[in-house]
Every structure is written in C-alpha cells, then in structure tokens.
Amino acid sequence: MRQKIAKILRSTGLIFIADLLRYRYMLLKNRKKNEAFCREHPGIAFPEPYMIYETFRLDYQRYYEKGKEGAEWVRDEASPFINLKDRDILDWGCGPGRVVRHLPEVINNGCRFYGSDYNAAYIKWCSENIPGVSFSKNELKPPLVYESRKFDLIYVISIFTHLSEQSHVEWFEELMRVLKPGGILMLTSHGNVTKANLTPQEIQQYDRGELVERANVKEGHRMYTAYHPEAYMHKLFANKASVLKHKPGTKQSWGFEQDLWILKKLAV
C-alpha cells in the first residue's frame, strides 16, 4: 500500500508537497533537541536545516556523529586495499560535507581531501565552513573539473541511488577517468534487501537484472530513486574495474542498508 501511495504522489507531482510537510514536521519535532546540541557544542558549524534533512535526517547530533562514523567507515573499508598515506581522496557527491569534514582528523597521514557536488549551495557552505578540504562544483552531467588520473581513492555514498541509467554509465566512466590506474572506488547501491520497497512489477524488472528507476522528479533529488541488481552492477563495471569486495546490505533497525562495492580500476 505504501508503495502504491508513493507512486500516486510521484505521478501527480504531489511528492514534493508531501516531502516539504515531512520536513516541517521534523523541524518542529527535533527543534529543542537540535538547539540544545548546538548550545552544548558551539564550535561545530552546521548547514541550514533543509540541507541536513535533504541529505541525511534532521537530527544534529546524529548528523555530526554519524558523519564521523562514516569517515571512519571509509578509512576502515579502504585500508585493506590501499595504503592511506600521501593520497588524493575524493568524496564525489559530498553534499554539505557530512562525511568529508571529518577525514582530515580520521585520516591524517599526509593525504589531500576533495569534495564535489552539483548543488551550488552545498559547495558554497562547505567552502566557507570546512577547513582542510578543497571543494568544487560539478553539474548533473560530467565532466568533473579534475585532471585525468588524479585520485588514489574515490568514495561515493548514496549517489548512484539517485541517478538515471544513462547517468550511471556517464558518471562511472568519468570516475574511472579521474581515478588512477589501480586506484580504489567505493560506492553504495540499493541491493537485494531493498526489494522490499518495490512493487510487484518493479520486482520483475529487478529480477531480470535491469536497473529500476523511480523518476517523475528531478534527477539527483532525494526522491529520485534507483535500485541495482547485482547483474546490472557487474555489467556497469565490466572491462573497467575489478570487484575487490561486495558487501550486500542487510535490514537494520533504522531501515535497509545499502550494498557496498569496492572496486579497483584496471590498469589499461
């Protein structure tokens, strides 16, 4: 029933009104808690509330603490495959810097950190409030501003989950362009566990190994959603990168965890 309602909201264009109402509800619900956390931590800069809501959830404490945990997760997942010393590291789709802001503290072995996003407001806020990281704006379509073979490690957290199939192809090729041969790409996707969110027709499409897109909203927006069968992902990576690790997502207390893919660019 929930998926049928969501489909109706998307098709009628009411999904944005529903999302705005949810934002205002969360803003009011968490106001006192968020204000208290800011008073107790005056040295922490936070983006405006809608930026936090749009990219995570409107809870300042969880936003900050989970951002640091995310940076530690990047370090811990990448470390078995790359020596994180004197490296160039890119957060593609960095949003308002929830994860990358912590990397200079979490990985402090002479690495250089970069963040890129298509949202100009995010990049402006990050550039003005997050030290130790270089930020650049990209467009919804490639290219990035960086030269070829610049990065040793690129991580992409919940970005391909909001892109069209054509953008999957174009952006994966672009990330391969700016990644060094032998470099590491980490990305997350909506895997098998998230099939519980799909309609029967979408499940049939997913089981055929086809990307499932929920469009009817602007591509890249949090309400634009893509679901990724393993067969589709292997086809996307073919002849460009080898899979070092695939960790399927599981059901958590907070919802469905995304799959993790760790890839190594082929030396071609």
Q: What pLDDT shows up at residue 108?
A: 86
Amino acid code (one letter) for 111: C
Q: What pLDDT shows up at residue 220?
A: 82
Which residue reads 């790359």 in tokens? Answer: 82
In angstroms, the CA 199 to CA 124 distance is 39
Q: What pLDDT shows up at residue 4?
A: 53
Contact (Cβ atoms closer than 8 angstroms) between residue 83 and residue 115: no
Q: What is the pTM of this model?
A: 0.92
Q: How far, CA to CA in Å, does 60 sit from each of 10, 20, 37, 55?
A: 29, 19, 7, 12
Q: What pLDDT shows up at residue 10?
A: 52
Ramachandran quadrant class, 183 (left: phi over 0; alpha: psi -120 to 50; beta: rest):
beta
- Residue 244 burial by Cβ neighbours in a 10 Å radius (0-12, 13-18, 19+): middle
Which residue reads 């100009």 in tokens? Answer: 120
Instruction: Determine the length of the chain.
Output: 268
Query: At 222, is the secondary structure helix, strand, or coil?
Result: coil
Which helix (H) or strand (E) is 243 found in, with range?
A: strand 241-247
Going across the sheet that includes 241-247, the strands are: 133-137, 112-117, 88-92, 151-156, 179-189, 259-265, 241-247
pLDDT in tens, 70-109: 999 999 999 999 999 999 999 999 999 999 999 999 998 9
Domain ranges within the chain, ordered by starting residue: 2-265
Amino acid code (one letter) for 209: G
Contact (Cβ atoms closer than 8 angstroms) between residue 70 and residue 91: no
Q: Which CATH number fits domain 2-265: 3.30.470.10, 3.30.830.10, 3.40.640.10, 3.40.50.150?
A: 3.40.50.150
Which residue reads 């997913």 in tokens? Answer: 206
User: Cα 71 to the chain's mean position, in Å?
Assistant: 13
Residue by residue, pLDDT tens for the chain (268 residues) are: 555 545 554 555 566 788 889 999 999 999 999 999 999 999 999 999 999 999 998 999 999 999 999 999 999 999 999 999 999 999 999 999 999 999 999 998 999 999 999 999 999 999 999 999 999 999 999 999 999 999 999 999 999 999 999 999 999 999 999 999 999 999 999 999 999 999 999 999 999 999 999 987 788 877 899 999 999 999 999 999 999 999 999 999 989 999 999 999 998 6
In angstroms, the CA 28 to CA 10 distance is 25
Which residue reads 């509800």 in tokens? Answer: 25
